[in-house]
Structure 1
Amino acid sequence: MKKIFIHFFSLIIYCHAAYAQTLPDITYQDYGYTKPIKKVTQLYYSIDYANDGSVKNLEEVEKVTQTFNADGNIESYENQSFLDESWAKSQSAYKQGRLHKQLWIYSYPYLNRTYTYLYDKQSRITEEKIRFKDGSKSHIKFRYKDSLLTEIEADIDGTQSVTERYYSAKGKLYKEIHRQKVPNEADIVTNYFYLEDKEILSFVEPQSYFYATAYLKGAMGHHFGEIKFKLIEDSTAQNKLLKGILRFDKEAPSDNLPFDLQSYSDQTLQAYKKNPKELKPYRMVLYLRDENNNIYTEAEVDLQARKIAGIGFFKTEFADGTTTGTTDFRHKKLHIFEAMLEQTKLP
């Protein structure tokens, strides 16, 4: 099951090699924490099971460490894989309270690079310049309208793309259109739709590579997991989804949607249970939160075996000196996740 859970280091390599085109995460809030953080250590374990379903073997696979400065901004980041000894490290430098430079160093030196940032008079990031070890350069430019980020233009290693962002009358992001330029071919156009700041759907024009995400909410009103589905093309479920997209695209700009994120998620899960051959679970993650709504343990699900493939334990040191969580494996948490998985009653 190691191949299923080993995703975090691959993700960080992907984000900096393929350059996910978003504003950089700077503050502890950007990273999803609800109160000032000093340090977060995350340790991920893979799980192998015996034939009787008991845990046969645990293995540490990845460690991630984030430190934040007194202003609540990211200071350094380190990721280490225990399987192949690969690693990635970053160091951030600030000027006048704004992120000025990030230096990224990898165990694969050809990936090494430096990011520098430019700002406008409103202290908004307008350009991210990237310089690689071989001296080549790339950039990402950010454009705004009425204080909202509306366009991201990138030229990375000769690959050009533009992402347009659309907001409702109340300033809520509801859609992105990403256009990647392909020499001598038509642009690759990917549409992303958002509800309550979370991605709910994406597809490549005209009608392919559909992915829908459902979010699981507990009795306390907090999300405790998410399931991403891939839709079979030319299916009844996809045709219904296309009609829903047209309605969403029409009503979202005026904040006139007849459903919220939870009702959308419930409808998606109901559609899956009725059409399990047309909606294929692609990825499922569960998590536990502390009293401040910070995630302190998360689990990756093996959707074929319907088992927990691995768990990440987080130790969080807050700026006020308090600490929550641990990086030690806790079997009790595994049992909690197993119960949560059972409660979802996937077909």
Structure 2
Amino acid sequence: MKNLILIFLIISYTSAFAQTLPDITYQDYGYSKPLNKVTQMYYSIEYDNDSSVKNVEEVEKVTQAFNTNGNIESYENKSFLDESWAKSQSTYKQGHLHKQVWTHSNPYLNRTYTYVYDKQSRITEEKIHFKGGSKSHIKFRYKDSLLTEIEADIDGTQSVTERYYSAKGKLHKEIHRQKVPNEADIVTNYFYLEDKEILSFVEPQSYFYATAYLKDAMAHHSGEIKFKLIEDSTAQNKLLKGILRFDKEAPNDNLPFDLQAYSEQTLQAYKKNPKELKPYRMVLYLRDENNNITAEAEVDLKAGNIAGIGFFKTEFTDGKTTGTTEFSHKKLHLFEAMLEQTKLP
């Protein structure tokens, strides 16, 4: 179960290397109003043979602080499994993110990011300087107000990502090409609906993944299930036909379904074809009345239980606080009920 909860650690440590524009404002982090700090505590859960909770262990603590302008100021991550840690400090010039300095318990990972802007105040380049002196970069190109291409050279790995939008400016597809010396490029296609990834595959027809999104009674995003499709299966063949239709209609904003309908269809397809769609990751969320996440859970799909939970404490600039980092058995039971409601075969 500790291996599953390490997904939280992996996400935290690799997010700074993501080949996309950096998250800067509190809105980028999914909050609707300014905040001072978010503290997240992640716990792993061990069960007895009768499925009762045997042990709860602290795994990781993450703290994010924001400045008075609503921009990310610092980040700190600490693992209780091996005492590793990571910290970042952001500085701004004329309201723009100028530099991020990352330090780690492993000095090899220490690095500094600096940013270049165009006349429209858009980030055009992210320069990465590692402690050992090596350099990497990510370049961003735009058409009108939309980010259309990302070119990256990260520690010698080169890639180009092309982004495609509908007539109304909605992202519906990305094509990611990773350069492999002396071999053909690895080309991965990603498809999006309502700003969320719904499926991907590696050309020509392999490594198919589909994601279904769950909603709670308030119509808030309450979870997601990612499936891997067995190759050369009936389900994959149907999906290929759906991709062709999606690729034709999405640019014209003429899709006959929304994200919820797509997700429901994907879940129905899974329940009819459990041998062809294999769930390999499931995350659930609890939110407060203002749609702020207060807890998230990682599901152990093989065991059919909750492997770990992260609890969020959010402190807003207006003095209000939502959530707590203390482990809550009540919220664990809520997650267990949510898992039961999905009725995974």
TM-score (norm 1): 0.98
User: In structure 1, what is the Cα distance between the partners aligned to 2:122 and 2:232?
Assistant: 43
Confirm whether residue 278 of structure 1 aligns to residue 276 of structure 2. Answer: yes
Structure 2: which amino acid aligns with 1:207?
Answer: Q
User: In structure 2, what is the Cα distance between the partners aligned to 1:216 and 1:12?
Assistant: 23
User: In structure 2, what is the Cα distance between the partners aligned to 1:342 and 1:91?
Assistant: 41
Matched residue, 2:337 = 339
Matches within 5 A, 1:295-334: 295-334=293-332
Gapped regions of structure 2 (runs ≥ 5): none
Matched residue, 1:14 = 14
Match of 1:70 among 68, 71, 94: 68
Secondary structure of the 1:129 match is strand
Gapped regions of structure 1 (runs ≥ 5): none
Matches within 5 A, 1:226-305: 226-305=224-303
Structure 2: which amino acid aligns with 1:9?
Answer: L
Structure 2: which amino acid aligns with 1:3?
Answer: N
User: In structure 1, what is the Cα distance between the partners aligned to 2:336 and 2:319?
Assistant: 33
Match of 2:199 among 192, 201, 224: 201
Deviation of 1:15 after TM superposition, in Å, equals: 3.4
User: In structure 2, what is the Cα distance between the partners aligned to 1:244 and 1:95?
Assistant: 47
Secondary structure of the 1:338 match is helix
Indicate conservation of the 8 Å contact 1:215/1:265, yes or no.
Answer: yes
Superposed CA deviations along residues 159-210 of structure 1, whole A, max 9, x for unmatched, are 2110000000000000000001111110000000000000000110001111
TM-score (norm 2): 0.99
Secondary structure of the 2:208 match is strand
User: In structure 2, what is the Cα distance between the partners aligned to 1:13 and 1:314?
Assistant: 18
Deviation of 1:277 after TM superposition, in Å, equals: 0.5
Deviation of 1:286 after TM superposition, in Å, equals: 0.5
Matched residue, 1:5 = 5
Confirm whether residue 177 of structure 1 aligns to residue 178 of structure 2. Answer: no
Indicate conservation of the 8 Å contact 1:9/1:80, yes or no.
Answer: no
Matched residue, 1:92 = 90
Deviation of 1:53 after TM superposition, in Å, equals: 1.3
User: In structure 1, what is the Cα distance between the partners aligned to 2:290 and 2:68?
Assistant: 20
Superposed CA deviations along residues 244-296 of structure 1, whole A, max 9, x for unmatched, are 00000000000000000000000000000000000000100111111211111
Q: CA RMSD in A?
A: 0.8
Deviation of 1:13 after TM superposition, in Å, equals: 2.6
Secondary structure of the 1:257 match is coil
User: In structure 2, what is the Cα distance between the partners aligned to 1:309 and 1:159?
Assistant: 34
Secondary structure of the 2:336 match is helix
Superposed CA deviations along residues 123-145 of structure 1, whole A, max 9, x for unmatched, are 00000001010111111000000
Indicate conservation of the 8 Å contact 1:204/1:210, yes or no.
Answer: yes
Indicate conservation of the 8 Å contact 1:151/1:165, yes or no.
Answer: yes
User: In structure 2, what is the Cα distance between the partners aligned to 1:247 and 1:197?
Assistant: 18
